[in-house]
Structure 1
Amino acid sequence: MAPTRREFLAAGLSGATLLATGPVLPGFLARTARAASSQNDERILVVVQLTGGNDGLNTVIPFEDDRYHRLRPTLRIGPQRVLKLNDTLGLHPEMAAFQRMYDDGLLSVVTNVGYPNPNRSHFASMDIWHCAQTGLQRCETGWLGRVVDRRASAGDAPFALHLDYEALPLALKTENQAVPSITNLDAFRLRGEADSLTHLLNASQEAPAVLDAAALDALRFVQRTAVASCANARRLEQIRTEQTMRAEYPGYGLARRLQQIAELIGADFGPRIFYTSLGGFDTHARQTLAHGPLLRELSESVAAFFDDLRARGRDRHVVLMTFSEFGRRVAENGSQGTDHGAAAPMFLAGPACRPGVLGSAPDLANLAEGDVRFERDFRTIYAAVLRDWLMIDPKEILGQPFEPARIF
């Protein structure tokens, strides 16, 4: 007996379900996919989200400012321990790997990054960074998701990939493309059973009898998606078998994720945007015990990642960017920690970046309600990444003009 219209579509959707989030129907069917620009084919962006609100003052330290030392009697890091970048700023002593990258011309340090009227809520401020919007309007798509919508082609390898244990971030939410969200390379699988997929791929033979034209188009789209997804999953299995480690990675979770990203880049799997995170930066108490190890994990993992890419001949094709939803307050609290603040530094890494410090030391004599004032809107960094690296008009993505920072 021929299957019903409902059975056709149910089989299609169950057979093509991916470990991915983002809309699949009907947005894909309503829009023409945009192919990636040939200028952009080799350029890759890796985003590392520092979740919790990284303490910028103990990351890029104004070691010559007496106010820093007075306001942080137990958390301050003295000039003799700081890894100096210039006469006024230095890195946390656990960031020796970043200092080596800085000395090698592979690291850009952008100071005092934030936005007007800062929000000290984790969720609200993270949404602002993810959406690239500071107003009260509801945001349905992220800034990187909007890039995916404009550049991805349906049926191809995914244009962006989220590799993390957290849910797909708002930054990657799209309107009409799907972005896979996986915990590791082995997790990229179709959820449907093989017989379900076989039924799906054979379904259109009887489809004209029970489906109208729109439903038939929908089913055929799901079929194409399923075939592409199977191919991607098999390709990932092949990559895991063929790829060998080209650099020594430390035993951190972030390092493992970046290693897998390097494998995908080395195999030219396809994504042009990768997104992962490092959590634990909400250091309200006993900050010294947690913050230094996190910064060491970040710097050593990123350094190993670029060593690996260099060995693969792909380092010049990759830019890595870090951000956190906010910094911490200048004065330490009564629990040997710091509370939610405002402006903080960002790092951009890779041979394509303009090395050095972009910006000045925080002005601790001119605080905004106890916080570092922002000197540079984070969207000027996004604008630089969009225009000068991903080769896309920033206004298309950000919705308003921002003068790109001189990152490249």
Structure 2
Amino acid sequence: MSANRRIFLGRCGTAGAISVGVSLPGIWRGAIRAAGNQAKPGGRVLVVVEMAGGNDGLNTVIPFTDDAYHKARPTLAVGKDRVLKVTGQVGLHPRLAEIRALFDDGQVAVVQGVGYPRPDRSHFRSMDIWHTARPEKVDLRDGWLGRALELDPRALGGGVPALALGTEKLPLALLSSRVNVPNVQSMDAYKLVAGPGDSSTQARSRQTLREAVALHGASGSEGGAASELDFLRRTADVTLTSVDRLGEVAKAYKPGATYPGTGLAQRLQVVAQLIAGNLGTQIFYVSLGGFDTHSRQQPAHEGLLGELSGAVGAFLKDLKSHGLADRVMVATFSEFGRRLAENGSLGTDHGAASQMFCIGAGARGGVLGAHPSLTDLVDGDPKHHTDFRQVYAALLEKWLGYPSEPVLGKGFKPVDCVKV
């Protein structure tokens, strides 16, 4: 790192707006411009929720009538009387009450038995597979959503076509060599320009940015306009030009639901605010971690499912109050499920097939596909019968309007989880 770059980052760092990646405040001038001349009015929005760690699908969508389930999990099996039944054979975990209510309203597609051939039980490799949609090879140059955005001239033209919120780094799924997708590492970056908090602190942060831009703007940068320092300077510069517009968006937004006090709920509330602001972002990506439940699974898993359900329920209620619910689809995934049998530590180990949820007014509600057999297993794991790329194909083609074959590398029959 050059001395000038270190100095500039040091001056900007106290403002909380600049990171090694592109942080939220540094990209909104393009978004504001895009909202005026590039975003499709009333365009559809996809919100991806990553359940990181390997969610226990068998305790999420529960085969409560299957004796094999109860036999394999003498301590972890959810009792039949607690299950939120959605068919005569399966039901939802009792902590998924808000999602169950949405299911009853026809707004949840439960896609069962989702996975891919020759499943990999490594978190890293399996997550790479889900993010790139390339199980057959290791190719981390771009992700499936990044490739989709490259098909859209609006995304190539600037603005913020997609945004990752609350992630440490840009998710591989959104990586593209042609489309700039920012990630917001913390809510502090958002609060700098649009959130609640101490106005004097925000003012000092903005002044820090102004001083850094003024000091480094006149002298140019190393290596010409494309250099890293110049990029960072311009990132800070557009932060300042976008503050007023984001402030207007924040002031105009009034939540139409009471959000739980959880991290996922906080992130989804910001997503709702940005959708209501009509800044033209088509894809949002958030993550909920902690699903690697090798020991003492029950309290941890129940808490995570409750966090997911409460956050998604409030999010969609909020959007409905603003007349936006018909535009938004929430899709959940996890890199793998868990094994059928519980382990000796009151937990479960890495498995294979699980389920995906597609949630929203545009979802074709119901339970899609049979629950995987719990007696016909592969290395102790339920087999998948639906390739995850079939769900991706449905989201791309039927919801976002992108052709799926250029994105996924070949044709996959879309799962019928989205209303046409």
Scaled to the shorter chain, the TM-score interval is 0.7 to 0.9
Which deviates further from its counterpart, 396-405 or 315-324?
A: 396-405
Describe the shift of the 1:202–1:177 C-alpha distance in structure 2 as closer, same or farther (beyond 3 A): farther
The partner residue of 1:170 within 172, 181, 190 is 172
Which deviates further from its counterpart, 310-319 or 73-82?
A: 73-82
Which position in structure 2 is the counterpart of 1:239? 249
Which deviates further from its counterpart, 319-328 or 242-251?
A: 242-251
Q: Which amino acid aligns with 1:390?
A: L
1:206-355 matches, within 5 Å, as: 215=224, 228-355=238-365
Describe the shift of the 1:161–1:20 C-alpha distance in structure 2 as closer, same or farther (beyond 3 A): farther
Which position in structure 2 is the counterpart of 1:86? 87
How far apart in 2 are the matches of 1:10 and 1:336?
A: 48
Q: Percent identity?
A: 44
How far apart in 2 are the matches of 1:361 and 1:300?
A: 25
How far apart in 1 are the matches of 2:263 and 2:345?
A: 28
Which deviates further from its counterpart, 285-294 or 151-160?
A: 151-160
1:135-214 matches, within 5 Å, as: 135-151=136-152, 152-153=154-155, 156-188=158-190, 193-198=209-214
Following superposition, the deviation at residue 342 of structure 1 comes to 0.1
Which deviates further from its counterpart, 8-17 or 328-337?
A: 8-17
Which position in structure 2 is the counterpart of 1:54? 55
Describe the shift of the 1:287–1:9 C-alpha distance in structure 2 as closer, same or farther (beyond 3 A): closer
What number of residue pairs does the alignment pair up?
Answer: 386
How far apart in 2 are the matches of 1:293 and 1:193?
A: 40
Following superposition, the deviation at residue 339 of structure 1 comes to 0.3
Describe the shift of the 1:397–1:229 C-alpha distance in structure 2 as closer, same or farther (beyond 3 A): farther
How far apart in 1 are the matches of 2:226 and 2:81?
A: 68
The alignment status of 1:123 with 2:124, answered yes or no, reads yes
Following superposition, the deviation at residue 255 of structure 1 comes to 0.7
Contact 2:61 2:92 in 1 (8 A): yes
Following superposition, the deviation at residue 105 of structure 1 comes to 1.1
Q: Which amino acid aligns with 2:163?
A: L
Describe the shift of the 1:11–1:20 C-alpha distance in structure 2 as closer, same or farther (beyond 3 A): closer
Q: Which deviations, in whole Å up to 9, do the C-alpha atoms of 1:78-124 show, x marking residues without a partner?
A: 22111001011100111111110100111110101000000000111
Contact 1:331 1:338 in 2 (8 A): yes
Following superposition, the deviation at residue 155 of structure 1 comes to 6.9
How far apart in 2 are the matches of 1:285 and 1:362?
A: 24
Following superposition, the deviation at residue 197 of structure 1 comes to 2.8
Which position in structure 1 is the counterpart of 2:30? none
Describe the shift of the 1:402–1:200 C-alpha distance in structure 2 as closer, same or farther (beyond 3 A): farther
Q: Which amino acid aligns with 1:194?
A: R
Following superposition, the deviation at residue 310 of structure 1 comes to 0.1
The alignment status of 1:21 with 2:6, answered yes or no, reads no
Unmatched runs of 5 consecutive residues or more in structure 1: 1-5, 23-33
Equivalent position SS for 1:262: helix
Which position in structure 2 is the counterpart of 1:73? 74
Following superposition, the deviation at residue 140 of structure 1 comes to 1.1
Contact 1:109 1:357 in 2 (8 A): yes
Which position in structure 1 is the counterpart of 2:195? none
How far apart in 2 are the matches of 1:193 and 1:228?
A: 10
Q: Which amino acid aligns with 1:178?
A: N
Q: Which deviations, in whole Å up to 9, do the C-alpha atoms of 1:150-193 show, x marking residues without a partner?
A: 33546743111111143221111111222221144540469983
Contact 1:155 1:228 in 2 (8 A): no
Q: Which deviations, in whole Å up to 9, do the C-alpha atoms of 1:277-331 show, x marking residues without a partner?
A: 1111111111111111111111111011000000011000000000000000001
Following superposition, the deviation at residue 218 of structure 1 comes to 7.7
Which deviates further from its counterpart, 139-148 or 290-299?
A: 139-148
Contact 1:155 1:225 in 2 (8 A): no
The alignment status of 1:365 with 2:366, answered yes or no, reads no
Q: Which amino acid aligns with 1:313?
A: G
Describe the shift of the 1:64–1:19 C-alpha distance in structure 2 as closer, same or farther (beyond 3 A): same
Contact 1:15 1:200 in 2 (8 A): no
Contact 1:19 1:181 in 2 (8 A): no
Equivalent position SS for 1:63: coil
Describe the shift of the 1:372–1:216 C-alpha distance in structure 2 as closer, same or farther (beyond 3 A): closer
Describe the shift of the 1:299–1:156 C-alpha distance in structure 2 as closer, same or farther (beyond 3 A): same
> TM-score, normalized by length of structure 2?
0.82
Contact 1:62 1:362 in 2 (8 A): no
Unmatched runs of 5 consecutive residues or more in structure 2: 23-33, 193-204
Which position in structure 1 is the counterpart of 2:397? 387
Following superposition, the deviation at residue 41 of structure 1 comes to 5.8
- Provide the alpha-carbon RMSD of the alignment: 3.3
Describe the shift of the 1:336–1:147 C-alpha distance in structure 2 as closer, same or farther (beyond 3 A): same
Equivalent position SS for 1:277: strand
Which deviates further from its counterpart, 320-329 or 355-364?
A: 355-364
Q: Which deviations, in whole Å up to 9, do the C-alpha atoms of 1:330-370 show, x marking residues without a partner?
A: 01111111000000011110001100011112211211111
Equivalent position SS for 1:276: strand
The alignment status of 1:406 with 2:416, answered yes or no, reads yes
